[in-house]
Structure 1
Amino acid sequence: MEFASYHLWSQFEPAIGWEDTHCQMQRGLRWTQPARSDDQPPPVTETIWQKVGKLAQQGVYEFHQDPLLLKHPSGCERVADRLYLYYEIATIRDRVMQILRQYQADPWLLDRDILVLNRGDEPIPPPIVLEVDGYQFHLLAAFDCIVKSIDNNIHIIDFKTGLAAPDLRQAEVYLLACTYLYPDRTPVASFYNLETMTSSQLITATDESLAQTARKLAQIAKLHQQQRQAYQTNMDCFDRLFPPHPGTHCRWCPVNYRCDYSTTR
């Protein structure tokens, strides 16, 4: 069955402000041309800010797996050991250690009723079956954290780092997913920046906005499948189905080693 997710949506249409770095060919290489067994990708395919975000989330998870670490004088160092943080470059190590120290000093999730807290490297969660105008597809949604709010409803929290503004589409997809996973509760969502220790305003959704998000995801799932099938039928049309947009951003592309248009080749 076809699928959609926030991640796939972002591969179709960039977030506001990221239009100049968006490349459809990256999506094409990811989904129509799997790497050969003899492909040798570069050793680092993540940017510094991506690595910081991943390790910061893992650090929060480790603290709550063993809450005694939140009070231990060497708690941050022990979490850093579990993350193999000392093997990272200094820029990453220092930023993540600062986040760990800040969180230990103010563990704002400690008194929350946590329903879901993911480490960030779990397998893809079971899909949610959605039907829009007779068209069925799978919705994939991986949550960072879900807590029970004071009024016994659902509060989705997505962790962020860095200074870039969060993409509200991510919250829209999560709100839609939660209406299926927790049908008897009203969800709200927010973004929490682990580096700046700031939270966004609460994000809510109406029935109409949820329906609009579902229609958009259905459109993406259908078009994505059609493009993949078109490529299998005529492999010469790859560049037209997934047009390249090379530039300095190629250096951060995880599939640049397989792209004929990459400026890093």
Structure 2
Amino acid sequence: MAAITLVISNTCPTKQYDDSHQPESQGLPTELTNFLCATNAQGRLLRNIPAIRLTLGPHNSSFFVHDSASYIWMNLPPELLKALQSRIKDGNWIDRPRIVALGADSNFLLLTEKHAAVWDLGFYTTISRMLEYSRTQNRGIADVRNVALHPYRYQCFLALSMNGTVISENVPPHEAAGVESIKIAILNDTKEIERKAQTSQTRIESVPRRPSIQHQATLRRDWGDRKQEFHAQSKGLRLSLSLSVSAAGIAGSFSKMLG
């Protein structure tokens, strides 16, 4: 299969830009390129580039992307598509996706802002069991900050917890050193964020508290100790669908709860 690469800059290729402003990309689906590079009547980009979150699946046409205001996806596994559709009412999100990860074949993961979790991770058994374990903890799925699945390599993933712990498995040898190098950096960044939060009492009163030191140590130990225990099964097919939701519509629907 052809490789897919993408570098997003502040501009996209249109007739108003010269070659020096074009982003570097190869093998991206036309629908994805059109979404990323959409402009208004004045030629300005519609997308909020810093807010873009993109996951690319196999087959060069499977993806989910958003910039927190507009969303588009194609060729998603049926169960993932169903889970997304069930969280849309009258064209607005009633529980917006927080993490969407696409893996090999039809494996996927969906975590929402209200901490619902839907997944089919038969080819990523370790992360599947980690998620099951997280559900039993005080903060549950909320402790999972991010997950990336390798779309062609079974059992290969990166997972980040809220306390800065990075867990990985079956990373290609030539990328292993790079993965190890980011673990300390991410952990240090997380500690610095926590330190700043603790010194700002007014902000602490208005945002959810970080996990306690004891809870952080427990989660880090358990995620590591349980890594080799995990086991699961999966199956699925592919479909396609796309959706664009206005920022105003999204903001107005956050107070609603799923039935």
Category of TM-score, reference length = shorter chain: under 0.3
> What is the TM-score of this pair, normalised by structure 1?
0.26
Which protein is richer in helix relative to its size?
A: 1
Please identify which structure carries the higher strand content: 2
Greater RCO, 1 or 2 (C-alpha within 8 Å, sep 6+): 1
TM (norm. structure 2) is 0.26
